Structure 1
């Protein structure tokens, strides 16, 4: 007979360490799980370092059995999300949980019940989960694509979590899709014609990000993003502090020729961000830069070579969405970055996403460049 599962609210440094370390132990046997740098995990969970805490209430929980950690979960309320329209996914009365790790179904049940109890006590009556922590971090549970490792800044979890979560009454609210595509040989003649047509437009200019003016260009990109995505399901605007924080976080893996800004008559109207897959280097480090992993990582950051590129973000301001010039800009940026990725970084494949399942514009772009779905992340909802 198994002993009782005890759920503790994390309040000490010792508990926080157990919360972080547990993921590395429970996923050690999964060849496709990529251990994140522990310093990044601690920063994510630190109110002093993560500006998400400026507009969120967060409580971490640790499950223990026989004195040993066997599971964890975060419960949180994003107060900016509460201000969004309910029909766009979040809104008033909607809380979240995330960062779930559990040794078995019984532990999962206990953790979810504890997170729901905490959310109800905070006045919430609905859950959208998992979010770890913000909608901008690692949203959704991996439900398709467990047979390969995630790319940079993407989540990965054991397949049995889906059954355990759905057994608690959670239903799919939205699916987030990633697409895989070979990039060495380029795209179809149709895409080439669209690109050449855009090049003939003298009002349209594409430029690379300028790292000597990185703060300026980062703010331009994030402002486009806030406008372009504002009508999307699940959207929560990034604050100025979050924009600055993301800029600092991404700067080490930003390469000028892999991020483009499109300007129309001198006005920035679209962007496309591509990142070399840092996860290729994080594998085998077990979340630590010691003793010599820091040197390996610094060398790679200086001379990055990666077979995989990820496109995490792309946006066109609302004024030009669903227009002919929007598709021209998108395909031009994709093609220009593809050339650089192949010739300078040794890339052979790209990964686009995540993309909302009903984002017709992005799905059409993914189909036009003949990409294939390779991962699906599910966001669940439940009334509590």
Structure 2
């Protein structure tokens, strides 16, 4: 018999966080997240907690944890789309539809009690954090801040009455294969004298992060499920990026001295923590710092990129994106970064998808967002 239990204390939370490590222990592409990071993510230290109310459950069978799920209400999402939407996330379970049914029943009952009549997800805990269910691309490890999953998840979620909302794509590119055709090069050269591409100014790091937040919220505002970043969220992200990302892997584009676009290249920390089993003690910290600062990693991810709304449908907008991608080429080469993931890209974003495919990137993972009316 399968039953669910609410996560209500630190011991429950430890079981919730540690369950995937047992579920994926035989998956060669599973990378255990750092326990300390997951615990902070599911705490008041996460600035998203200022606008997200959530509850977690574990499913048990014969006293053993066999699944987990969260349900959440995002006040910022509801301010944009109405009060009747809730979300699910962090779904992991054994291949047993009874387990999935029990987990979703618990999540949906809680969401109904909060007034929700529609549920979308998965989000951990909202769309600006880990998003989507992996449905294609199980044969490679996830990049930093991207989810992994089991191939059977989509079947069981479908059996609970969930349908596709939209798909998110991750693109992969070998840095040596980055190619700007003569026609693209001509376009880029035509606007170089109009656009300034500069590194982030570390002396004004906090201010620079808020500039990037404004660009992101402007450029993404009409995308599926968009929720704006708050000042606190971007400031917290800035503190993390300051430690993890060199100055020459964050670029801001300006036109007439006014910021209009940005890009962030993030070393793939998953590569550095793959063998730490989620733990930084006793020697994990030393290994992580050595790999990030000394030996380096060989892959990276672009998790954030944005072009202001006013330029997105202009002739110059796509060229600005190309110039930002080009700016990362030398810093990556200097650090012997061999390959790059660009993620995530909405399947409907044909403009960005065309740009990426024209310069040598290929889609290699697909993540699905689901929705269901109660």
2:157 paired with 1:165: yes
* Distance (whole Å) between structure 1 residues aligned to residue 169 and residue 177 of structure 2: 24
Q: Deviating runs (4+, > 3 A) in structure 1?
A: none
| Alpha-carbon shift at residue 328 of structure 1 (Å) | 2.0
Q: Is the 8 A contact 1:5 1:63 kept in 2?
A: yes
Q: Is the 8 A contact 2:263 2:324 kept in 1?
A: yes
* Distance (whole Å) between structure 2 residues aligned to residue 219 and residue 119 of structure 1: 33
What's the counterpart of residue 75 of structure 1?
71
Q: Is the 8 A contact 1:138 1:154 kept in 2?
A: yes
2:300 paired with 1:333: no
Find the partner of 2:104 among 92, 99, 112.
112
Find the partner of 1:59 among 55, 58, 64.
55
> Equivalent residue of 2:328, what SS?
helix
Q: Is the 8 A contact 2:177 2:360 kept in 1?
A: no
CA deviation vs aligned residue, 1:89-144 (integer Å, no higher than 9, x gap): xx431101111111232211110111111111111111101111111111110001
* Closer, same or farther: CA 304–209 of 1 in aligned 2, 3 Å: farther
CA deviation vs aligned residue, 1:211-253 (integer Å, no higher than 9, x gap): 2322121111111111111111111111121121221233222
- TM-score, normalization: structure 2? 0.96
> Equivalent residue of 2:172, what SS?
strand
- TM-score, normalization: structure 1? 0.94
What's the counterpart of residue 298 of structure 1?
289
* Distance (whole Å) between structure 2 residues aligned to residue 348 and residue 13 of structure 1: 40
* Distance (whole Å) between structure 2 residues aligned to residue 230 and residue 260 of structure 1: 21
Find the partner of 2:24 among 5, 24, 27.
27
Q: How does 1:211-226 map to 2 (within 5 A)?
A: 211-226=202-217
Listed as ranges, the gaps of 5+ residues in structure 2 are none
What's the counterpart of residue 12 of structure 1?
9
> Equivalent residue of 2:370, what SS?
strand
* Closer, same or farther: CA 348–103 of 1 in aligned 2, 3 Å: same
What's the counterpart of residue 360 of structure 2?
370
Listed as ranges, the gaps of 5+ residues in structure 1 are 86-90
Find the partner of 2:117 among 125, 131, 154.
125
What's the counterpart of residue 199 of structure 2?
208
> Equivalent residue of 1:7, what SS?
strand
Aligned length in residues: 372
Find the partner of 2:134 among 135, 138, 142.
142
* Closer, same or farther: CA 224–338 of 1 in aligned 2, 3 Å: same
2:84 paired with 1:99: no
